Structure 1
Amino acid sequence: MKIKFYLLLLLFSTSIFAQKKVETSIDTTKNKIGAEFKLTLKTSVDTLSKVVFPKLKNIGALEVIQSYPIDTIKKDDRYELIKKYGLTQFDSGRYTIPSIKILINNKEFLSDSLKVEIANVQVDTLRQKMYDIKEIVKAEDSIGDWWKYLLGIILILGIGAFVYWYTKIRQKKKIEEEVYKTPIEKATSLLNILEKKELWQHGEVKEYYSELTDIARNYIEEAIEIPAMESTTSELIEGLKKASLKKKMKLSQETIENLFAVLKQADLVKFAKSTPLEFEITDDRNKIQKAILTLDEAIPVEIPIEEDTILNEAQKQKQIQILLRKKRNQRIAISIGSVLFLLFATTAYFIATKGFDYVKDNILGHPTKELLEGEWIKSEYGNPGVIVETPKVLKRIDLTKSLPKDGMALIKEMQSFGYGSLLDNFYIMVSTMKYKKEGELDLSKAIESSLKVLETQGAQNMIVKEEDFQTNKGITGKKGYGTFSRIDSNSQTSTKLYYEILLFGQEGGLQQILILHEEGDKYAVELSDRILNSVELKSASN
């Protein structure tokens, strides 16, 4: 019995190990909150077996953030299938990865359950440096608002062109009414103009027949008073017959047939793309002219015309040209007036909604605003070097003539660079000096000397203030600032200017930055602040 029992136990344990076809592992048993770790399931089957791994969103209390594709490795006559799941957890603690069911040939097999520990991320608030919250920085607009102004100008010019075209069409009709006193006179003149265009000679047969029949239809509508333009060819001929009876017009059958034939031919050309021969086109033109003249003679209305009022063709053309010039001038005046009105209305709208300063600065333009919004340049000037960012490159200038001779006798080397002048809206100058005699410089007296130079160039009523100044890298100096009046010798007007002057003394060298602008110019204030905040200095020994 004992032997049978041991044999049964051996068979049972063998069947248990045979059932274990899924190997389970994880890449780490300790993980941080929110970090991914991988659960790996591996099984080995023959080439005919079918294996199905489950699709899971969660495994126990853990979240599946990634289900990786199955890797297949062939070993002799068997396949090794490897499936990985990316797991995470956002709460600290110890978790159990439960068993997962895998189907192999429709038979369920379970993976092993595993333990994993999720730990908090340590934050050292004592060693880590703390920073203030930065201010909101406005993103740079690479395109700008120029396209809005361009679109507005195109729209205004387009409206002006439309007004010009519209008045031209209206005035053309008025000119025809003023020059052509009777329908027959108008029709005859238009037939002559049509022939001068030589449309059919240039292959535009359809356009020729369209204008030819329009002339005839217009004449019939104006002279005989029937709706010829809106009628079909058959309706027109029928209406003409009725009107001739009503008005007691004596029309021959030949006239009506000729008119009908030409209108029918025109319909074929326009809608059936028929192309008549040259002699047929000439014949059709003659038929239309003859039909119009015959119709005019048949109208039983006598219009008294005095001999001195009859205009010959040359007089008509001259009169037309005179009227055209007058009307053209009127059209130009109306178009320009429309554009000016639109510009005035647009400007008034922006003034009402945005204010006059907005219109002046953004539409009319503002010099210091354009400098502020332009491309800035960072350069080094002089010796000892002054590194500064400016809206324009500073150009070398000669100040030796403007300085007193006794002061120049003390200077060993001097270099000056500037943009603008004292007469401009914005002026900046960077100067560097090396003195013959080394020693500690009195920056306050240096400021006084610089301001005396301004006085020699016309500065009056100067107000002076002084304070210490420090660059971003900790180099200290003196800052003088205040206002003075600038007198225009031509107009005798006074302008109040604001000035800022920085002075730094290093090892017998002097570095100076001077900025002038009109008081109250907000864009110039921004310019000045940006320039002064960008100042970097090199020592005289470098």
Structure 2
Amino acid sequence: MKKLIFFLLLLISTTIFAQQKRVETSIDTTKNKIGAEFKLTLKTSVDNLSKVVFPNLKNIGELEVIQSYPIDTVKNNDRYELIKKYGLTQFDSGRYVIPSIKVLINNKAYQTDAIAVEVANVKVDTLQQKMYDIKDIQAANDSIGNWWKYLLGLLVILGIGAGVYWFLKNRQKKKIEEEVYKTPIEKATSLLNNLEKKELWQKGEIKEYYSELTDIARNYIEEAIEIPAMESTTSELIAGLREASVKKKMTVSQEIIGNLERVLKQADLVKFAKSKPLEYEITDDRNKIQKAILTLDSSIPVEVPVEEDILLNEAQRQKQIAIQLKKKKKQRIITAVATVIFLVMATTIFLMVTKGFDYVKDNIIGHPSKELLEGEWVKSEYGNPAVKIETPKVLKRIDLTKSLPKEGLALIKEMQSFAYGSLIDNFYLMVSTFKYKQETQIDLKKSMEVSLQTMESQGAQNMIVKQEDYETKEGITGLKSYGTFSRINPTTNDKERMYYEVLLFSQEGGLQQILILHQEGDKYANEISERVLSSVELKQEGR
């Protein structure tokens, strides 16, 4: 009986142990710095029919999951080993426990082991390490720049202008071809139909309706019967029509002429006496005008046209269409150009109101320093001892031997200078290195005086000088001078105020100099200077 009980206990403990170890838990390190990654690894072995689900978590205990790595699968004979890793971190120092988490294997939950970890603080040596103020927020460096946005905007505006042009062209061409008719009756009939489509009197525009209706009739009479109908009063028109019907031997009844006269007088009352006919009267007047025009046209004696006359009339019609198309083309061009100008001006004004005049000037008109800042920068080494520096353009080798006195040149063993621009440009950058024939202790302050005197000899006036110690991020110390001076622009003869910065370092028995000049108040040039100087790297002696 005792043996049986012992065997059962052993079987139960073995089963529990196997279940607990179904998922193996490990971690790459139990002690790390603030913000560093702990890599937690879960491993299980299953057959090819098993289904394993690892949890998708944002936090495991008090640690944040910064990376959930893909599951690695390793085949081992007829079984598969699944490995899942989590990247964990914590931004506060202290001791933490990574708790057990559930892993589902064939819908059955298995717990992982809990692991204790320690997050250590980062020691800051305030005695050896110089402290700096927090920098302002900097815009992300875009090597491509924003030029494509302005190009896209310009293309959109030009596209709108072209769209307006072609829309007006198609519309006007169709309208002109419709307006140039072969015969007066064709024109009058078409205009009457278009008048009905407008539904003027239905909208309450009775005066406008009667004005167009009578103009159609008067214009037809003037073109077909050749009497001055447009300038005549109603009485004069009717009298002229009766006289012309006799001369032209027109078979038109007095009833038709009387109906036409009544409609014209009704129109006069509407236009000048503000009369408002009823709906049936308006419809009746329109029918009378149409019937009068058709009757007059049918009563005009028909002359059989000669083929040459037909061709001549068609040629005149086509010539008239061409003339009108030419006029409309000028109107289209003017309209399209005006649209583009309006859109450009509207966009410019909107940007000036929302962004300011300087933004519009710098981004639309252009700013050379801004283009330098947003261009593709280059990081390279120059001279000996080498100066590693990042610049907006590759610096080109220049010869300074002519600008230095002979006494100074006699002491120099090797001199190399590289620059972008010139001293008369709005932005100038130069890197120079010197090695002397005899090793000596270099006095940076005296060397700085020589550099500033050289600038004065090349046209710098009223120079304001400020000096301070400078230290690179590698801990190499040097001397920095900065300030402003005046100069005469040789192109415009105007006096300009320039800002300068000079860095001097003494390394390996040599001298390294970095000089930057730009116009005072140029914010883009200031950003270039900050970026250039913050990138300076010097080779430290013995390393």
Name the TM-score, length of structure 2 as normaliser: 0.56
> 1:465–1:482: 8 Å Cα contact kept in structure 2?
yes
Partner of 1:155: 156
Partner of 2:460: 459
Residues 76-225 of structure 1: pairs in structure 2 closer than 5 A: 120-123=116-119, 129=123, 145-172=146-173, 175-176=176-177, 180=181, 182=183, 221=190
1:24 counterpart SS class:
helix
Quickly say closer, same or farther: Cα 1:151–1:296, change in 2 above 3 A. Answer: farther
1:495 aligns with 2:496: yes
- For residues 296 and 429 of structure 1, the distance between their equivalents in structure 2, rounded to whole angstroms, comes to 92
1:199-234: CA deviations, max 9, x gaps? xxxxxxxxxxxxxxxxxxxx9645899999xxxxxx
Which range moved further: 149-158 or 336-345?
149-158
One-letter identity of the residue aligned with 1:300? S
Quickly say closer, same or farther: Cα 1:224–1:156, change in 2 above 3 A. Answer: closer
Quickly say closer, same or farther: Cα 1:528–1:299, change in 2 above 3 A. Answer: same
Quickly say closer, same or farther: Cα 1:519–1:409, change in 2 above 3 A. Answer: same
Partner of 1:428: 429
Quickly say closer, same or farther: Cα 1:152–1:138, change in 2 above 3 A. Answer: closer
1:300 counterpart SS class:
helix
Partner of 1:520: 521
Residues 375-390 of structure 1: pairs in structure 2 closer than 5 A: 375-390=376-391
One-letter identity of the residue aligned with 1:370? E
- For residues 396 and 381 of structure 2, the distance between their equivalents in structure 1, rounded to whole angstroms, comes to 12
- For residues 499 and 93 of structure 1, the distance between their equivalents in structure 2, rounded to whole angstroms, comes to 56
Quickly say closer, same or farther: Cα 1:175–1:130, change in 2 above 3 A. Answer: same
- For residues 94 and 226 of structure 1, the distance between their equivalents in structure 2, rounded to whole angstroms, comes to 86
1:34-82: CA deviations, max 9, x gaps? 998999999xxxxxxxxxx9x9x9xxxx99xxxx9xxxx99xxxxxxxx
1:401 aligns with 2:402: yes
Quickly say closer, same or farther: Cα 1:166–1:380, change in 2 above 3 A. Answer: same
1:375 counterpart SS class:
coil
Q: Per-residue deviation at 1:441?
A: 2.3
1:501 counterpart SS class:
strand
Quickly say closer, same or farther: Cα 1:472–1:10, change in 2 above 3 A. Answer: closer
Partner of 2:267: none
Q: Per-residue deviation at 1:338?
A: 0.8
One-letter identity of the residue aligned with 2:490? S
Q: Per-residue deviation at 1:144?
A: 5.9
1:484 counterpart SS class:
strand
> 1:427–1:515: 8 Å Cα contact kept in structure 2?
yes
- For residues 144 and 171 of structure 1, the distance between their equivalents in structure 2, rounded to whole angstroms, comes to 43
- For residues 41 and 382 of structure 1, the distance between their equivalents in structure 2, rounded to whole angstroms, comes to 61
Partner of 2:446: 445
> 2:476–2:540: 8 Å Cα contact kept in structure 1?
no
Quickly say closer, same or farther: Cα 1:120–1:184, change in 2 above 3 A. Answer: same
Quickly say closer, same or farther: Cα 1:19–1:178, change in 2 above 3 A. Answer: closer
Q: Per-residue deviation at 1:12?
A: 7.4
Quickly say closer, same or farther: Cα 1:373–1:22, change in 2 above 3 A. Answer: same
Quickly say closer, same or farther: Cα 1:423–1:474, change in 2 above 3 A. Answer: same
2:402 counterpart SS class:
coil
RMSD over aligned CA atoms reads 5.6
Partner of 2:15: 23
Partner of 1:287: none
- For residues 142 and 490 of structure 1, the distance between their equivalents in structure 2, rounded to whole angstroms, comes to 32
One-letter identity of the residue aligned with 2:15? E
Residues 342-361 of structure 1: pairs in structure 2 closer than 5 A: 342-361=343-362
Q: Per-residue deviation at 1:393?
A: 0.6
One-letter identity of the residue aligned with 2:123? K
Name the TM-score, length of structure 1 as normaliser: 0.57
Q: Per-residue deviation at 1:345?
A: 0.3
Quickly say closer, same or farther: Cα 1:479–1:298, change in 2 above 3 A. Answer: same
1:330 aligns with 2:326: no
- For residues 491 and 39 of structure 1, the distance between their equivalents in structure 2, rounded to whole angstroms, comes to 77
One-letter identity of the residue aligned with 2:117? V
One-letter identity of the residue aligned with 1:353? T
Quickly say closer, same or farther: Cα 1:41–1:492, change in 2 above 3 A. Answer: closer
1:379 counterpart SS class:
strand
2:349 counterpart SS class:
helix
Structure 2 unaligned runs (5+)? 32-37, 62-70, 78-84, 86-94, 101-107, 126-130, 198-250, 253-292, 304-308
- For residues 410 and 478 of structure 1, the distance between their equivalents in structure 2, rounded to whole angstroms, comes to 22
Q: Per-residue deviation at 1:168?
A: 1.9
1:450 counterpart SS class:
helix
- For residues 176 and 17 of structure 1, the distance between their equivalents in structure 2, rounded to whole angstroms, comes to 106
> 1:384–1:539: 8 Å Cα contact kept in structure 2?
no
Residues 163-312 of structure 1: pairs in structure 2 closer than 5 A: 163-172=164-173, 175-176=176-177, 180=181, 182=183, 221=190, 299-300=297-298, 302=300, 312=313
Partner of 1:529: 530
> 1:432–1:511: 8 Å Cα contact kept in structure 2?
yes
One-letter identity of the residue aligned with 2:156? L
- For residues 114 and 380 of structure 2, the distance between their equivalents in structure 1, rounded to whole angstroms, comes to 55
Larger Rg over CA atoms:
1
- For residues 40 and 448 of structure 1, the distance between their equivalents in structure 2, rounded to whole angstroms, comes to 73
2:362 counterpart SS class:
helix
1:223-275: CA deviations, max 9, x gaps? 899999xxxxxxxxxxxxxxxxxxx99xxxxxxxxxxxxxxxxxxxxxxxxxx
- For residues 14 and 328 of structure 1, the distance between their equivalents in structure 2, rounded to whole angstroms, comes to 108
Q: Per-residue deviation at 1:30?
A: 12
> 1:462–1:485: 8 Å Cα contact kept in structure 2?
yes
1:482-509: CA deviations, max 9, x gaps? 1112212343212211000111223442
1:250-309: CA deviations, max 9, x gaps? xxxxxxxxxxxxxxxxxxxxxxxxxxxxxxxxxxxxxxxxxxxxx99994254999xxx9
1:372-410: CA deviations, max 9, x gaps? 222221111112211111111100111222233333333
One-letter identity of the residue aligned with 1:535? V
Partner of 1:411: 412
Which range moved further: 150-159 or 129-138?
129-138
Q: Per-residue deviation at 1:531?
A: 0.9
Which range moved further: 413-422 or 532-541?
532-541
- For residues 491 and 3 of structure 2, the distance between their equivalents in structure 1, rounded to whole angstroms, comes to 121
Partner of 2:92: none
> 2:415–2:434: 8 Å Cα contact kept in structure 1?
yes
Q: Per-residue deviation at 1:434?
A: 2.0
> 1:29–1:117: 8 Å Cα contact kept in structure 2?
yes
- For residues 160 and 317 of structure 1, the distance between their equivalents in structure 2, rounded to whole angstroms, comes to 29
Q: Per-residue deviation at 1:21?
A: 11
Residues 355-370 of structure 1: pairs in structure 2 closer than 5 A: 355-370=356-371
- For residues 434 and 417 of structure 1, the distance between their equivalents in structure 2, rounded to whole angstroms, comes to 15
